[in-house]
Amino acid sequence: MPGVFVLLWSTGFIGAKFGLPYAEPFTFLSLRFIVVIVLLAMAAAIGRAKWPQNPRLVGHLAVSGLLVHAIYLGGVFGAIRLGVPSGLAALVAGLQPVLTASVSGPLLGERIGARQWLGLALGLAGVAMVLSTRLAGISFDGFGWDGMALAVAALFGITGGTLYQKRFCTGMDLRTGTLIQYIAALAVMAPAAMALETMEIRWTMPFVLALGWLVLVLSLGAISLLMTLIRLGEAARVASFFYLVPPVTAILAYILFDEALTPLALTGMAMTAAGVALVVRNKT
């Protein structure tokens, strides 16, 4: 399950690269959320899925949805739109496993041992090495603090969403719970699109294919796996899998776009895999 999740999640960056030239980021995300909501509503109705009976759980699901879907995705897409290089945005988001581990103890009572901290450090170093070629030669004149603020907001969004999901939402039905999360995210993303963007969409075949992929593979498939992993495992261990996303994305970009894979990046991939292995290995 973790391997499938990493592979599917990594394709999200590829899908965004195909689709974003034809729609502004918040508009793209709003449309994506609308399609997901319709599909989840149909699945819930056909399967007679159980809806949460506790209003507090509904509120918790809404908060989790805002953190994971609206703040994280909106922050990443918005930062890139404001000129933050995707490699730098990915490096900021790559701090998530360390940040999660730092606060999962006090918030969730999870114990992070020395071996796991070593694994987190190795993983972060490996991610930096993988992204080094994309960070080389970056001009920091092309964006401002507003773009970096969005990238940092995305980091806190996915970190807070992982912890909040683990603490308050593990008992949800995947169909109805995820539906509530996306409705909450759309309630924020759609007004942002209307206020900040033209909401124009160029309906090309690449855009339609990218939208379909992001809806079916990411918003339904990968998110369902993420929620299941959070329910079954410790938050810090689940977060460590995000270290594997940049290496897998780099491999996909090499295959699809002929982007360079340097020896340094390959070494970073090996370090990242070793770091994750140290984090997720059963305690002895």
- In tens, the pLDDT along 232-249 reads 876 777 877 877 877 887
Longest dimension (CA), the chain: 56
Q: How far is CA 240 from the centre of its chain?
A: 12
Residue 284, pLDDT score = 44
Residue range 89-142, pLDDT digits in tens: 777 777 788 778 777 767 677 677 787 788 888 887 887 787 776 666 555 555
What percent of the chain has pLDDT above 90? 33
Residue 60 burial class via C-beta count within 10 angstroms: exposed 0-12, middle 13-18, buried 19 and up: buried
Among 249, 195, 239, 201, which residue's Cα sits nearest to residue 78?
Answer: 195
Q: Is the pTM for the entire model greater than 0.85?
A: no
H helical segments located in the chain: 2-19, 25-46, 55-65, 74-81, 86-93, 96-108, 114-130, 132-135, 145-168, 174-196, 205-213, 223-232, 235-240, 245-257, 263-280
What is the domain extent for residue 254? Answer: 2-280
Residues forming a β-bridge with 201: 23
Lowest mean pLDDT among 177-181, 194-198, 221-225, 236-240: 236-240
> CB neighbours of 66 closer than 8 A, spacing ≥ 6?
184, 185, 188
Give me the number of domains the chain comprises. 1
Residue with the larger pLDDT of the pair 195 and 136: 195
Provide Rg for the chain, Cα atoms.
18
Among 44, 51, 15, which residue's Cα sits nearest to residue 32?
Answer: 15
> CB neighbours of 205 closer than 8 A, spacing ≥ 6?
none
